[in-house]
Structure 1
Amino acid sequence: MKKWGFGVVAMSGLVLVGCTDEVTPQERLEAYIAAWDEGDYETLYKEFLSDETKQQFDEAAFIERQVALDEALEITERDITFTAPPEDTEWESTEPATFPVQIQVETSAGPIEWEQEMTWQPVEEEELTWMAEWDTGFILPGLEPEDQVRVTTQNFARGEIYDRNGNALAINGTGFEVGLVPGKFTDDTLKPRLAELLGISVDYIDQQLGQSWVTDDVFVPLDKISQVDDSRAALLEIPGVLLQETGMREYPYGAATSHLVGYIGPITAEQLAEREEDGYTEFDQIGRQGLERFLEERLRGESGKRIFIDKAAEGAEDVTLAEIAPVDGERIDLTLDAELQRVTYDAMDGEPGTAATVDPKTGEVLTLLSSPGFEPSEFMLGMTQSRYQELSEDPLQPLFNRFAASYAPGSTLKPITAAIGMEAGTLNPNEGIVIEGATWQKDASWGDYRVTRLHPEAPNPIDLEKSLVYSDNIYYAQQALAMGRETFITGLEAFGFGKDIPFFLNLQSSQVSNDGTISSEGQLADTSFGQGQMLANILHLATTYQPFLTGGTMWQPTLLLEEEDQVVWKEGLASPETITELQAGMRSMVVDGFAQAVNLPGIPVAGKTGTAELKVSLDAEGQENGFFVSYPVETEAFIIAMMIEDVEDNGGSGYVAEKVATVYKLLYE
C-alpha cells in the first residue's frame, strides 16, 4: 500500500478550560492518523482504541477486516484530514475531545469521501493520555458491524464489426450451451456418439454427471456450440440432450471473412502476462487473429465496477459507495462489401487462392479474402488437438492467409510494364515488332536461356494491343531491354514495388527482386512479364491498375470507413495517351483473347490474365498460379484481382477468368 497523507483544518470558536502539560488529544489524533497511513492496524488497536471499543471489536477481526477491504477495494490512495481547534485551545482533562475527521480513499471504482467524528476520552494511566472511541464508520461511510461490503464487476459489451452497408461481420450474438438432463438420458450407449459430436471424451461426460449437485432433473452443461455448428440437429436426436441459448460472438460470414475478421478466443498465459495490468483476467477472451486482434484495444471496452454496502438490517437497501459504469467497445465500420466478399469467396469454390477488390474512385478496399477459409467459431470455442491437426495438415492450407503473402504475378504485370515503357518513350503502342517462333534470345551471350511465348501463332507484327491479347512474353522482354534496367526498376518502384504497402494490416510488400536489383538481361526479361524474382501482393496488384482509371494516380488502400479516402500514394504514373491505349488493349484482351469466359454479353469487362510458373528445378515442370485482374468498363466501379493456385490442369489463367465471370454475373445479371 502506498503511504498516505494527512493534514489538519483549523476549527474556530472552541475554548476549553483547564490545562495540562501532558499529551493533547490533537497530538494523539495526529499519531493515530500516521499509523493509519501506514496501514498499521495492530498499532491502532493496541495503542489508540479505548477499552470500551476493544470490548466491542476483537483485535483479529479489527485488523483482518480492514486489511481485506484495502485489498478488495484496491485502495491506492488515502487522504485524511481533521478540523483542528485554535492553537491556544486548552484541554479539559475530565472531558472528551471530539474532532471532525475527513476521509477520502481512491478505490478501483473511484473515490469515496465522507466525514466522521472521532471522540477521544481522557484516561489516567501513569500520566494523562487520550483513547479513541472507534466504530466501523471509520472503515467506510455508514458501515455497521454486521454489514457486508461487496464489489461487483459490470461487464462491457465487446465492440462489433460491420461492413460499409451495415452487414454484421463480428457481433455479440447467441450460441448454444449443450447439456444433459440426467433423468432423461437413460441410454449409456449413446455417450460415445454424444462425445464424438461435441469433441469431448466419455470420461468428461461421466465426470460432469457425477458432480455432487447433479440430480435427475437439472441441466448439466457439457459444451458450447455456435449457431452455424452443423451438429445441432444430430445432438437434439439424442434423448436427454438440451440446447440452451447463451451469449456468444457470432461471425455471420464465416469462412468468407475468416482470415480478415479473425476470431476471439481464451486468453493465453503469455497474453495474460503482458496484459494483466490492463485489467485482463484468466477468464477473458481476447482477439486472436485478424481484425479481432489488430483492433483489440478498440473492441475490448472497459469493465465497470460497483462498491456497495449490503445492509444487514431487514428491509434496508444497499448503499452504493462508488461506481464506474462499464464502457462498451467501439463499433468498427469497414469499407468492405460483405456481400461482394461472399460472392467472390463462393465463386472460388474452395480453390486455394486469394482475391482483392478496390474502388478506383476512392482507394477503399471492397473485398480481401483468402481461400479456403475456416469457421472462426471453432477457434473461438476451443478446438481439439485432433481437429487443429486436421486443419494444419489439410493440403489446401485453410489456415494460411494468402492475401497477406506475395506471389509471382505473371502476365498481369504486362500493363504496368507497358505503361512504364510508354511514359519513358521507349514503347510506341502502334509500332509492331516481327516475332518469329515460340522462343527468343537476344544473342548467344544468354547461353541456354530463352524467352518462351505461349502463342507463336499470333499474327505479325506484334503491337501493344496484340501483345495484350496474346500475352506475348517476347514482346515485353524486348520492351524491357529497350528501356533498360534502371528505367524499368525506377518505373516499378513508382508503382509501389519494393515499398511498404500503406495499409492498416500487415501485408507482405511486392518486390522487384530479392535484393531490389536486376542483375542480368535474362532477369530483366523475366521480370518484364512478372516472373523471375518478381512478387506482388494481391491487394497491391489490384491497386496498380488504378492509374489506368484515375488519370495516373494510385490511392492508399483503406479498410476502415473512418479513414480518409483518396489519399495519394503514387501519382503521375500514366498520361492520358497511355491510359487510352491500355484501356483499349485490356478490353481487346477480353473480347479477342483467351479469357472468353468473362466476355459477357451486356457486361463489358477489361483486364489482363496471367500465369506464373513456379519451378522446383530448371528441367521440371512446376506449379502454375493463375491470375486475372479486371474491371467493368461502363461503370469502372471496382477493380478485382484474383489468384488461384495449381491451375496447370484446369486451363491456366482462363480458369481464373471463369471464376471472376461468376462474380460479374451475380452482380450484374
Structure 2
Amino acid sequence: MERTQRHKRKGSGKKFPRAAAAGLAFAAAGIAVCAALFWIKRDSREIPEELLVRYVDLIGKQEYEKMYEMTDPENSGYKDQQAFIQRNSAIYEGIEIADIQVEILENDRKKDEGTDTVAYRMSFDTAAGNLHFENEMRFSDTEEGYKILWHDGLIFPELTSEDKVRIESDPALRGKILDRYDRMLAGPGTASSVGLVPGKLEDRETAFRQLSELLDMDKETIQNCLDAAWVKEDSFVPIKTIPKVSELDLMALEPEEQVLAEKARQDALLAVPGVMISDVEVRSYPFGAAAGHLTGYVGNVTAEDLEEHPGEGYNENSVIGRSGLEGLFEKELKGRDGCSIYIESGDGSKKSVLANLPVQNGQDIRLTIDAQLQDALYQQFREDPGCSAAMDPYSGEVLALVSTPSFDSNDFILGLSDARWNALNEDERKPLLNRFRQTWCPGSTFKPIIAAIGLKTGALDWQEDFGNVGLSWQKDASWGDYFVTTLHAYEPVTMENALIYSDNIYFAKAALKIGADALEQELDAMGFGEQMPFEIVMPPSQYSNTEQIESEIQLADSGYGQGQILVNPLHLAGLYTAFCNGGNAVKPWLVYENEAGGADADADRGNEAGAGAEIWLPQIFSAETAAQVLEGMKKVVNNPEGTGFAARREDVVLAGKTGTAEIKASVEDTNGTEIGWFAVFTAEKEAENPLLIVSMVENVKEIGGSGYVVNKDKNALETYWGSGQ
C-alpha cells in the first residue's frame, strides 16, 4: 500500500492520507492518535517515515544545519557538518530545486541489524525541468531516536562522494526584428570590448587618466572593474563596449568622419600599455536612430526585473526589452535557455544525465515596415520635432512609424555616459519623446473628415456656394471679438474649392451646419475616444476635453481641426484609407503575415479593400461620398492653386491635404506655435507600391508653414520611388 506526502518548497503543511491497519496518520494537537499508529510508534520518538518527510521538508526550506542534526554522523558519509552543508547547498541551490514531492512506497519497512529502511519516490522541479527517482533511506535506531544514515546517494541514487553535479546552460538566441523584406532592424551584431590586463599595466595612474578621457569614464569606475574578486594578473577585464570599426567602412573611397574618428580613438586606446580590444556579440540596430522609437532597445536584467518576472527563465546574465518593439514582443523574442544537469565522475567523464531542457531560441518578428521608407522619412525630418506614419491605404500594412529627433538604440547597448544621458534628457527638442504615440491638433488635415461627415448627414451639398465673405468671419455679434480667419479669397466657395484653398471659414460654417450632436456621433463612430486596434498602444483621439463640444465657437473651430480636436497620426491615416476604399476604413497592422500579400504577393486591387485588409470601421461614409471628397483631395495636390501642389508627380496620381494648427495660450496670444501637417497618398488602386503618409512637424511658424512639410515629404517620396520624371 502506497502513501503519498506532498509539500511545497516554502514549508507547506504535511498532509498524509488516512491509513488503514498499520498505516501512517498525523493528528493535530488534541486529537487522539489512532490505534494502528500507536502499535507502530510505541514511544514518543518519530518513526522513520516521519523523519524522511521532515528531512525532505528541510531541503525545500534550505535548512541544512537541521538536516545534519537528523543524521548519524559517525555512521554516515559526512562527519563534518560544514562539509555536509556545503555539499547539499551547492547541489540543491545550484539546480534551483523547487516544488518537492515525496511518496512513501512501502508500508512494511525493512529491518536489518538495528537499521530500518524506507523506500520512497521523490520528484521536484529544477532549472532543467522536472526530475524524479525512486530511492531508499536507511535509519539507525539510537538511544536518541532514529537517525538518518546519510550518504551522497540520498541526493541522487547514482551520486557517490567522488562525483560532482554539473549544470550546463545553453543560452537562447534572441529573436530578430525584421522588416517586410527581411532586412534586420534588431538582431545579433558585433562590437568591440575594451579591456585591461592588470599584469601588463605599466603606470596605472597614467593609464586610468588616458582611459577616462578616451572612454568618457570615471577613473573610479575603471578601478572598480579591476577590483572584482575574480580578477587575476593575466585576466582580460572588460571596461567598456564601443562600436566596432568595420574594415569595409575604412576601405570606402571617402570614409565617414565618424568612422575615422572611431578608428583614431581605438588606435589611441591600443597605445596604452595593458589595453586590449576584442570582439563581443551584442544586440545591434542597423538603422540606428531612424528606427529608434520603433524598435526600442534591450537592457541587462536587474534585481527588480528578477523579482517582477519569477519563473520566466531570466537570470543575472539575461537581457530584457526596455522599450519599443523589444519590450512589446519580449515574450516572443526572448526564447528559453537550455539547461542540462548531469553527474560527472571523478575522472571528469559524464556519468549520467539527470535532467535536460532543450534550448528554445527566440522567435523572429517580421514586420510590415519598409526600412527603406522608414529611413527616407527619418532623414528628411531628423532635425525637426515631429513624426510620420505611413501605410498601404488598401491593405492596412503599416510601412513606417518615425519620430524625430530620435536616439540611436545602439547607444543604450554600448552604454550611455552620464553626459550623453543628460544631453538627451535636457535637449529642448525632446529626442526621447515618441511623437507617433501622441495626439496632436490636426488643423486642416481634418477638413476632409468634416466634408465627408457633412455629405453623409445631408448637412452639406457638394455644389453649394457658401459665398465669399472675405478673409475674416464670425457668425454674429454673440461671438464678441472672436473671428475665424482664412488665407485665400476665391469663388465660388464650394466644398471642392474649400479643400483646394484650405478655407477655414467654409469648414467653420460646415461644422455649424452639421451640429455638435451629429458631429460627436459621427466621430464616435470613427473611433474617437477609443483605443484603436493596433499592436502598439496609441492614445485615443478626442474632439473635446470634456467629452462633448461645449459652445458654438468650439464647434466652428472643430470644423477646421482646431478647438479641442486631438488626433493620433496613425488614427488619422487609418481614417484617410476610407477615401481609397469606398468609405471603409481598413485596420492598420504591423506584424507581417505571408498570406496577406505585401512583399510576397501582389495585392488584389479589384476589391473595395486590398488583399489582406481587414475592415476596421465599415462604411463610415458612402462610396459616393468617399469618391467626391477624394476628387477634391486630388486637386489639393494636382491643381496649381492647391496647397499641396509642390508634391505633384508625373508618374502617379497623388491626393492629400495640408494642415496648419495654431497652438497658443489664448485668443490674444501672438507668440504661439504652428503645427504643420501633410497627408498624401496614391489615389488609384492600380498604383505600384501604394502608399499613404501622414507627417507632422511641431513648429513651422517661421519656416514656411505646412509647405515645409510638403517639401520634406516630396523629398522622401523621391528617395523611395525615384524622381518620377
Q: TM-score range by the shorter chain?
A: 0.7 to 0.9
In structure 2, distance between residues paired with 1:164 and 1:561: 7
1:71 and 2:101 equivalent? no
Q: Is the 8 A contact 2:78 2:150 kept in 1?
A: no
Which of 615, 621, 625 in structure 2 is aligned with 1:568?
615
Distance 1:381 1:273, change over 3 A: farther
Which AA in structure 2 matches 1:571? P
In the alignment, is the contact (CA less than 8 A) between 1:611 and 1:652 conserved in 2?
Answer: yes
Equivalent residue for 1:461? 492
Q: CA deviation at 1:116?
A: 4.6
CA distance in 2, matches of 1:629, 1:331: 32
- Which stretch shows the higher mean deviation, 149-158 or 415-424? 149-158
1:6–1:81 Cα contact (<8 Å) kept: no
- Residues in 1 aligned to 2:550 and 2:119: alpha-carbon distance in whole angstroms: 87
* Segment drifting more, 156-165 vs 145-154: 145-154
Provide the C-alpha distance between the structure 2 equivalents of 1:357 and 1:60, rounded to a whole number of angstroms. Answer: 67
Partner in structure 2 of residue 237 of structure 1: 267
**What's the CA shift string for 1:163-193, capped at 9, x where partnerless?**
2221111112222211246748879767555
Give the match's secondary structure for 1:171: strand
User: Deviation string for 1:312-347 (max 9, x for gaps)?
Assistant: 1x3643432112223222221222112211111112
1:622 corresponds in structure 2 to 672
How far apart in 1 are the matches of 2:235 and 2:89? 40
Number of the residue aligned with 2:540: 509
Residue identity opposite 1:628 in structure 2: F
Cα distance between partner residues in 2 of 1:580 and 1:364: 22
What's the CA shift for 1:95? 9.8
CA distance in 2, matches of 1:384, 1:648: 35
Matches of 1:213 and 1:130, distance apart in 2 = 44
- 400 and 28 in structure 1: CA distance in 2 versus 1, 3 angstrom threshold: closer
Q: Is the 8 A contact 2:48 2:116 kept in 1?
A: no
1:663 aligns with 2:716: yes
Give 3-state SS (helix, strand or coil) of 1:585's partner.
helix
The equivalent residue for 2:629 is 582
Per-residue Cα deviation, 1:386-438 (whole angstroms, up to 9, x for no partner): 21111111122111111111111111111111111111122221232321321
What's 2:283 paired with? 249
- CA 1:446–1:181 in structure 2 vs 1: closer, same or farther (change >3 Å)? same
Matches within 5 A, 1:128-527: 135-180=151-196, 183=200, 192=209, 194-205=211-222, 208=225, 219-227=236-244, 232-238=262-268, 239-240=271-272, 241-312=275-346, 314=347, 316-456=349-489, 458=490, 460-527=491-558
Q: 1:261 to 1:618 in 2, by over 3 A?
A: same
Superposed CA deviations along residues 5-34 of structure 1, whole A, max 9, x for unmatched, are 8999xxxxxxxxxxxx9999xx96535534
Over the matched positions of the two proteins, sequence identity in percent amounts to: 38
Kindly state the Cα deviation for residue 607 of structure 1 after the two structures are TM-superposed: 0.6
TM-score normalized with structure 2 length: 0.80
**1:607 and 1:109, CA in 2 relative to 1: closer, same or farther beyond 3 A?**
same
* 1:591 aligned to which of 616, 638, 648: 638
Distance 1:22 1:668 in 2: 90
Change (3 A) 1:104 1:336: same
Residues in 1 aligned to 2:309 and 2:358: alpha-carbon distance in whole angstroms: 21
CA deviations 1:66-106 (Å, max 9, x no partner) are: 355333331431324345669xx9x7x86988776554444
Report the residue type matching 2:291 in the other structure. Answer: T
Partners of 1:265 and 1:381 within 8 A in 2? no
- In 2, the alpha carbon distance for the partners of 1:538 and 1:558 equals 14
**1:6–1:79 contact (8 Å) kept in structure 2:** no
Question: Aligned equivalents of 1:397 and 1:201: distance in 2?
Answer: 27
Q: Is 1:639 equivalent to 2:692 in the alignment? A: yes
Query: 1:597–1:661: 8 Å Cα contact kept in structure 2?
Result: yes
* 1:601 and 2:601 correspond: no
Distance 1:63 1:392 in 2: 51
Letter in 1 for 2:175: G
How far 1:546 sits from its partner (Å)? 0.8
* Residues 236 and 242 in structure 1, CA contact (< 8 A), matched pair in contact too: no
Deviates more, 1:32-41 or 1:209-218: 209-218
SS at match of 1:407: coil
Supply the AA of the counterpart residue of 1:469: I
Amino acid at match of 1:595: G
1:81 aligns with 2:104: yes
Q: 1:473 to 1:137 in 2, by over 3 A?
A: same
- Give the letter for the 1:107 counterpart: T
Q: 1:610 touches 1:626 (CA, 8 Å); kept in 2?
A: yes
Q: Please report how far the alpha carbon of residue 630 of structure 1 lies from its aligned counterpart in structure 2 after TM superposition.
A: 0.9
Instruction: Give the partner amino acid of 1:558.
Output: W
CA-CA distance at 1:286 after TM superposition: 1.8
CA contact (8 A) 2:404 2:431 kept: yes
Report the counterpart of residue 580 of structure 2 in structure 1.
549
Offset of 1:311 from its aligned partner? 1.7
What is the letter of the counterpart of residue 162 of structure 2? E
Moved more, 446-455 or 156-165: 156-165
Secondary structure at the residue paired with 1:503? coil
TM-superposed deviation, 1:261: 1.2
The match for 1:537 among 558, 568, 590 is 568
Structure 1 residues 528 and 323: alpha-carbon distance in aligned structure 2, compared to 1, 3 A threshold: same
**Count, aligned residues:** 646
> Comparing 375-384 with 249-258, which one deviates more in the overlay?
375-384
Distance 1:431 1:195, change over 3 A: same
Q: In structure 2, do the counterparts of structure 1 residues 100 and 447 end up closer, same or farther at CA, with 3 Å as the change threshold? A: closer
- Structure 2: which 5+ runs fail to align? 1-8, 20-38, 246-257, 597-611
Shift of 1:43: 8.1
Q: Deviations over 1:340-371 (max 9, x none)?
A: 11111112242111000122222221111111
Q: 2:411 is matched by which residue type in structure 1?
A: E
Q: CA deviation at 1:557?
A: 1.8
Cα distance change of structure 1 residues 131 and 352 upon mapping to structure 2, 3 Å threshold: closer
State how far apart, in whole Å, the 2-side matches of 1:359 and 1:70 are: 56
Contact map agreement 1:50 1:131 (CA 8 A) in 2: no
User: Equivalent residue of 1:326, what SS?
Assistant: coil
- Please give the alpha-carbon distance, in whole angstroms, between the structure 1 residues aligned to 2:206 and 2:113: 86
